[in-house]
């Protein structure tokens, strides 16, 4: 298989499931780095900071630096900061709030004014949060979603993803969100820009066609669908692999 100057890897279902590395992931990335390729990690998971994701990968034997990790939470923080939306009511978890605050976006509580509603994975989601988000969106706050993944893979199956929470807020508010994570090209384009790589010199690798692969294609990159997570077969014409080790062939 062709060698690329830059490989952009999804995480859940591509490099690991839950707390378990997918067989061949560590070996593949080590060999790609040895050939001089850059590696970036790109995830729709908004609940973990880049440092936490890098620590998780390192514990699995996969070399990773926080500067190489781009999350939908970090992308959301950058999106809001660039537009001066510096106060957000967050339907999400502490890791998302930390990423927003790292870019100067303050998390507000009930009764405080806000510029935006940010919705990500939220395993503590309640009716009160749903109502608060709806009321603020109806009153004019921007509606931003970290991602719309319906599920994400764990060691023994799938659990509801951020898209389930986003759908609830969208349904009651009657508003569609700006979506930062894949399939939006925002994160892929960040990875390209920060690594100084042109799209044609990058390969985007992921386990979901409708998010990972579509974002890579729309950004102008080559793509590889791995059948280790969500996807069980590839659409006609889409390059695919049963194992990441096939990248070394």
Our separate counts of H helices and E strands in the chain read 8, 15
CB 104 within 8 A of CB 96: no
Question: Residues 10, 149, 207, 212: which is the catalytic one?
Answer: 10
Asked if 65 is an active-site residue, the reply is: no
Burial of 82 (0-12, 13-18, 19+ CB in 10 A): exposed
Asked if 10 is an active-site residue, the reply is: yes
Residues in contact with 243: Cβ distance below 8 Å, sequence separation at least 6, in sequence order = 23, 24, 226, 228
Question: Residues 12, 115, 149, 212: which is the catalytic one?
Answer: 12
Catalytic residue numbers, as ranges: 10, 12
């Amino acid at each position: 298989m062709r060698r690329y100057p830059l490989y952009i890897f999804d995480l859940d279902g591509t490099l690991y499931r839950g707390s378990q590395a997918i067989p061949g992931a560590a070996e593949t990335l080590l060999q790609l780095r040895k050939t001089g390729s850059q590696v970036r990690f790109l995830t729709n998971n908004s609940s973990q900071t880049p440092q936490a994701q890098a620590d998780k990968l390192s514990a699995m034997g996969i070399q990773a630096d926080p500067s190489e990790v781009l999350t939908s939470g970090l992308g959301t923080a950058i999106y809001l900061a660039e537009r001066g939306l510096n106060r957000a009511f967050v339907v999400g978890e502490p890791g998302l709030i930390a990423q927003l605050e790292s870019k100067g976006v303050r998390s507000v509580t009930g009764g405080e004014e806000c510029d935006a509603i940010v919705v990500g994975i939220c395993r503590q989601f309640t009716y009160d949060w749903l109502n608060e988000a709806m009321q603020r969106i109806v009153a004019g706050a921007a509606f931003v979603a970290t991602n719309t993944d319906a599920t994400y893979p764990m060691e023994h199956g799938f659990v509801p993803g951020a898209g389930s929470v986003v759908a609830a807020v969208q349904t009651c508010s009657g508003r569609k969100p700006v979506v930062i994570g894949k399939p939006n090209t925002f994160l892929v384009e960040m990875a390209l820009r920060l690594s100084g790589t042109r799209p044609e010199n990058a390969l985007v690798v992921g386990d979901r066609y409708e998010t990972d692969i579509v974002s890579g294609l729309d950004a102008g990159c080559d793509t590889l669908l791995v059948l280790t997570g969500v996807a069980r077969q590839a659409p006609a014409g889409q390059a695919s692999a049963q194992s990441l080790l096939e990248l070394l062939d």
